[in-house]
Amino acid sequence: MAESTTIHSTNNNIPIPSVMKAAQQSGFGDIRDVLTLDDNVTVPRQLSSKQILVRVCAAAINPVDWKILEGKLSLVTRYSFPHTPGTDVAGVVVAIGSSVKRLQIGDKVYGDLGIHGGSYAEYVRGPESLFTLKPNNLTMQEAAAVPLACDTSSQALFKKISPPIGQGSKILICGGSTATGLYAIQLAKAVGAYVTATCSKRNFSLMEKLGYTITQTNIEMNNDQNQLHVIDYTEKDFGEELKDQNYDIVYDCVGGEQQWISAQKILKRGGQFITIVGDDLSSIISLKTLIVMGSSIVNRKFWSIFSSAHHGYIRHVLYENFQDLDDIRTKFIETNKVKPLIDTVFDWRKDGVDALYSLYEKSKSGKAQGKLILKIADEE
């Protein structure tokens, strides 16, 4: 059994309160029916030997957060209610368990809490293994925008694909204006890949905010890493537009069977298709969808081996760990090769529970141009 330690003060002798403000989920359902903001939630001051307590400055929302809240993932999530939601987090370590060695009280950290949640609160407790030092060139709000979305794309491009993407690789990113897509574009460009992305013309401006010059002309030999080839998916099917162009990778951040169908037209022999969504756009995980998903993956992996094209099919699910966040910080963010884009910052101190409602509802609308952030406290 893990050692239990109760810590009462931070490194500057400011007492950790016994209660805090936190979002409280009472069950699964519509945001306005099941989520409240409570000022009297117990601070989780009792730590196991490998846990830390973080004073939260900012958190972010991802599609998985509202899917969990609505019960779309209830088959794989088991909560005792009330539950504090939220995955991405940035803040300051205020207490540590007896076996914590890598992080210290006072460290500014960021992390991804996974489906266990807890970041929509003034304090969050979690294992040290999910946190690491935040990038020193980002604010807390910017740092909170990174973990889940950037790590998802980093793992997909550098760990799940073999060989990993690198200099001279050709990659098409379906959904370039999604949070994962925006990070994937930057990560791929940072290692010298040739990148094509799909998005609507409305979101071309997002790519320009990242510093890219947009072209709708496919110029394969162009070595200008500041230029980005973009296809407006509302006007053109990338499968027809890039047919037989021998792409190494198609990275799907959108979902739907059509992405796989179109990808096979542009991938080279042995090319790889990797998706973080899959065919089912309903986002509801049930026994039926698990069976259909499993059958689809088995079928495509069979044909990837026995078809003449040998196109690989990979369904990618993020594995949270601090090592990846460290790599992202040191190799890409602190070297200014990758940066977060923020659409809106919501502040519950100013707007109360309406800040939470707006956060969830804008995320679900799919109209955000960049990350949506929840400000919880001022930075130190």
| Element holding 271 (H helix, E strand) | strand 267-275
Q: What are phi and psi of 73, to 5 degrees?
A: -115, 25
pLDDT in tens, 83-106: 999 999 999 999 999 999 999 999
CB contact set of 276 (below 8 Å; sequence gap of 6+): 152, 156, 180, 252, 253, 316, 317, 318
How confident is residue 78, by pLDDT bands cut at 50, 70 and 90? confident
Q: Do β-strands 131-133 and 108-112 pair in parallel, antiparallel, or remain unpaired?
A: antiparallel
Residue range 325-335: mean pLDDT, rounded: 97
Q: Give 83's contacts (C-beta < 8 A, 6+ positions apart).
A: 24, 25, 117
pLDDT recorded at residue 246: 95
What pLDDT is stored for residue 32 in this prediction?
96
In terms of Cβ atoms closer than 10 Å to its own Cβ (0-12, 13-18, 19+), residue 140 is buried
Per-residue b/e over 113-125, b at no fewer than 16 CB within 10 Å?
A: bbebbbbbbbbbb
Where exactly are the structural domains of the chain? 19-134+341-375, 148-315
Range 135-163 average pLDDT? 97
**Contact of 71 with 28, CB cutoff 8 Å:** yes
Has residue 131 got a pLDDT over 90?
yes
- Output the pLDDT for position 304: 54
Tokens coding 249: 């990778």
SS3 258: helix
pLDDT value, residue 226: 85
Q: Give whole-number Cα distances, 282 to 19, 72, 181, 345, in Å.
A: 38, 9, 20, 28
Render pLDDT for 33-61 as a digit per residue (tens, 0 to 9). 999 999 999 999 999 999 999 999 999 99
Q: Which fold has domain 148-315?
A: Rossmann fold (3.40.50)
Whether residue 302 has pLDDT greater than 70:
no
Q: Which has the closest alpha carbon to 252: 194, 328, 171?
A: 171
User: Which amino acid, one-letter code, is at 378?
Assistant: D
* Predicted confidence (pLDDT) at residue 17 exceeds the cutoff of 50: yes
Q: What is the pLDDT of residues 179-209, one digit of tens each?
A: 999 999 999 999 999 999 999 999 999 999 9
- For 265-296, b/e burial (b = at least 16 CB within 10 A) is bbbbeebbbbbbbbbbeebebeeebeeeeeeb
Q: At what angle do helices 147-155 and 179-190 cross, to 10 degrees?
A: 50
Read off the pLDDT band of 77 (50, 70, 90): low
- Percentage of the chain surpassing pLDDT 70? 85
Q: State residue 166's pLDDT score.
A: 95
Out of 148-162, 166-180, 219-233, least confident range: 219-233
Cα angle 19, 20, 24; round to 5: 110
Intrachain domains 19-134+341-375 and 148-315 with the same fold? no
Q: How far apart are CA 258 and CA 149, in angstroms?
A: 23
| The token pair that represents 157 in the structure block | 């491009």
Positive or negative, the Cα torsion across 302, 286, 256, 328?
Answer: negative
Pairing of the two strands 213-215 and 194-199: unpaired
Look up residue 330 and give its two tokens: 């040191």
CATH topology of domain 19-134+341-375: Quinone Oxidoreductase; Chain A, domain 1 (3.90.180)
Burial 221-230 (b: 16+ CB within 10 A, else e): eeeebebbbb
